[in-house]
Structure 1
């Protein structure tokens, strides 16, 4: 099709994948907003309901490196379409569940199928955006993911006005239909348009064990893995406990705490991830290390925001502090795949991101647990947030260590 040769197709691709990214997170997140509706029909303990999310996260994390390998070995667009179709079908099947075991199985299957999407999507985006637009394109796509996260409440609303079955039913059908549409629109970058270096990295030479060896022998990759894991822990600690902090610190209702911890927060995150990508691309025209430096600066700007927000007794100061964090923390999200592209063998780009996903899920889960353990030890959330601030300083220092010491602008 001629559409794939036009200059606007790389941006059309980003727009199409933004919708997929939104569905990816909406489908996985909305179950958390339906707790009362689901438990009223399918009796289960709090631990069992929590397990529905934990099983998804564990399987998603462990499947991610292998899912990334599929996108390196085979056609990225087909992996994306297949992932969307299968997880949407699983979403629809979730609507048919009538007991806890069926729900648990559905969540496990969703973890496997959704794991295939993000590594393939981000790798395909940088394939089409090899120059000074890759961070902007990545940031826009992650923005679609953030929108999906923020729209999770729709599931709870549909569950209250209709039924929780209907929510999974309708979004499952939407995803399946969209996957069919993408069969005709979403394509890998033609080989003739790929640079000579990328051309040499033929998919036929990709081997998963060689990929693991190549990646884990790479000092820069291991450092990025360390940074991404810590950044994930920070996100889980702050995002996961922020509603509770607002509710307890300022004696708010659950609804009020939800507004303060989501509306302002996710709006700032959306703006931050888009601007973080655009600024990195603009700066990279003068400094090739911009995509490393900007996230490091973002972490350092976020630190005082979190510290001040966790100390003050003024709610408006707390809001401003966490909004500052929400705005600059996502700079790393917009630039991680471009950083990865720079430091590793391009044949293993999606595999590398899949390993990052795995690390983020595991360490993120530990972060949530650690924050809960601190709470059980009568340590307040202000201290938890200060630990998160210290962790961001470590992330910034680690990022600065990746900048070459000799002639850093080239």
Structure 2
């Protein structure tokens, strides 16, 4: 892949630029590792609590601490990608979070573990906005949702593989996973540095005009009613998503008397395999629909989330593991349809120079509300309140998040 790509023209809007699919493939590996490193801890609750003294609210607080830091810094992380270049920020993020993952091996106290989770949030905050913006730069028109969806399969593969954390903790100690995947991430950052390059925006290539500053970008985004709607949509979906990620392994273990390994794999594999299908089918479906209907990218996740909400509610009201598995599949598929189309929807709302920052704003609200869900689960458990109430709240969030997309009015086709 060359260091730069040719300027955009009208024909480029219908096809990806040279090297576009290589970018997706490289970022697939990074996206996989991104979520594996952040989610793996949730599959080894018992092992972590034995090694580092804490209660259930403290365990939930580890995810909440990560999400608060990640959420608060997300707009700044997205702006860094708009300001300093997508590929440079991606490499910095990948190398940083992998080093922190590796360093987690050496923690001995709860405070140290909480500090590493916070540092993980700081280092990971730039990656997703930068990666999705870079993919959108290379993929225009008819391949944008599918390309985004393929990248998101890496994210879901990472969350599915995070189930290995419980197995590795049971057989090799809780620190083994952090050592293995942290080392792999540092090596991956070195490899990506030889291949990953930015696409210059036409607006920045002309006359050397300075990029928009962060305050002007945030002011522009805040003035968009569509941006407020999709931000609320993403926040509600974040509540459900992080409730499932943080507490579904514990819920399954207690409800169905599963081992730590069985609960970790059940909670992650069914949801994430379904999400793999969701991002591919939902991405291709939205790309096709958007050719004839400007709202096509909105309608796909709206339909999927609305239909999935009863299954999320049912997961809290069944004593049959098979039924819960079906519910996890339904939620995972719907979440995949949404994830494949979130950046493409943002591209219909925000100008190119604001898109990474815009996705950072979405992450800000999604992570803060998701952090509330993560902590709320621990708070409920400390008071002997069943986690099914958290799942019922998640079902309401999924339904509302889907319905909100019906009122978004795209300002641009692509």
Q: TM-score, normalization: structure 2?
A: 0.86
Cα deviation, residue 75, structure 1: 1.3
Alignment-derived partner of residue 329 in structure 1:
335
Q: Do structure 1's residue 388 and structure 2's residue 398 form an aligned pair?
A: no
Matches within 5 A, 1:158-177: 158-177=168-187
Cα deviation, residue 176, structure 1: 1.4
Q: 1:261 aligns with which of 256, 267, 283?
A: 267
- Which range moved further: 333-342 or 24-33? 24-33
Q: Do structure 1's residue 120 and structure 2's residue 126 form an aligned pair?
A: no
Alignment-derived partner of residue 144 in structure 2:
134
Distance 1:392 1:159, change over 3 A: closer
Asked if the contact 1:73/1:203 (under 8 Å) is kept, the reply is: no
Q: 1:345 aligns with which of 351, 373, 383?
A: 351
CA distance in structure 1 between the partners assigned to 2:196 and 2:58 by the alignment: 39
| Partner secondary structure for residue 204 of structure 1 | coil
Distance 1:230 1:198, change over 3 A: farther
Asked if the contact 1:273/1:330 (under 8 Å) is kept, the reply is: yes
Cα deviation, residue 104, structure 1: 3.3
Q: Do structure 1's residue 180 and structure 2's residue 190 form an aligned pair?
A: yes
Alignment-derived partner of residue 85 in structure 1:
95
Q: 1:367 aligns with which of 368, 373, 392?
A: 373
CA distance in structure 2 between the partners assigned to 1:159 and 1:244 by the alignment: 15
Alignment-derived partner of residue 54 in structure 1:
64
Alignment-derived partner of residue 30 in structure 1:
40
Alignment-derived partner of residue 216 in structure 1:
222
CA distance in structure 1 between the partners assigned to 2:166 and 2:310 by the alignment: 35
Asked if the contact 1:3/1:9 (under 8 Å) is kept, the reply is: no
Distance 1:2 1:69, change over 3 A: closer
CA distance in structure 2 between the partners assigned to 1:241 and 1:40 by the alignment: 18
By relative contact order (CA 8 Å, sep 6+), the higher-ranking structure is: 2
- Which range moved further: 382-391 or 277-286? 382-391
Asked if the contact 2:348/2:413 (under 8 Å) is kept, the reply is: no
Computed over aligned residues only, the root mean square deviation of the Cα atoms, in angstroms, reads: 3.1
**Unaligned segments of structure 1, at least 5 residues:** none
Cα deviation, residue 322, structure 1: 3.3
**Unaligned segments of structure 2, at least 5 residues:** 6-15
Asked if the contact 1:34/1:156 (under 8 Å) is kept, the reply is: yes
Alignment-derived partner of residue 75 in structure 2:
65
| Partner secondary structure for residue 297 of structure 2 | helix
| Partner secondary structure for residue 185 of structure 1 | coil
CA distance in structure 2 between the partners assigned to 1:107 and 1:313 by the alignment: 34
Asked if the contact 1:286/1:409 (under 8 Å) is kept, the reply is: no
Distance 1:298 1:38, change over 3 A: closer
Alignment-derived partner of residue 12 in structure 2:
none
CA distance in structure 2 between the partners assigned to 1:38 and 1:309 by the alignment: 27
CA distance in structure 2 between the partners assigned to 1:173 and 1:374 by the alignment: 36
Cα deviation, residue 157, structure 1: 3.6
Distance 1:201 1:348, change over 3 A: farther
Distance 1:201 1:298, change over 3 A: farther
Asked if the contact 1:66/1:354 (under 8 Å) is kept, the reply is: yes
Cα deviation, residue 294, structure 1: 0.6
Asked if the contact 1:92/1:171 (under 8 Å) is kept, the reply is: yes
CA distance in structure 2 between the partners assigned to 1:166 and 1:256 by the alignment: 19
Residues 264-302 of structure 1, C-alpha deviations (whole Å, 9 max, x = no match)? 222112211221111111211221211111110111211
Q: TM-score, normalization: structure 1?
A: 0.87
Cα deviation, residue 210, structure 1: 0.4
Alignment-derived partner of residue 403 in structure 2:
397
Distance 1:309 1:158, change over 3 A: closer
Q: Do structure 1's residue 234 and structure 2's residue 244 form an aligned pair?
A: no
Alignment-derived partner of residue 298 in structure 2:
292
CA distance in structure 2 between the partners assigned to 1:162 and 1:250 by the alignment: 25
| Partner secondary structure for residue 292 of structure 2 | coil
| Partner secondary structure for residue 329 of structure 1 | helix
Distance 1:322 1:156, change over 3 A: closer
Cα deviation, residue 255, structure 1: 5.0
Q: Do structure 1's residue 75 and structure 2's residue 85 form an aligned pair?
A: yes
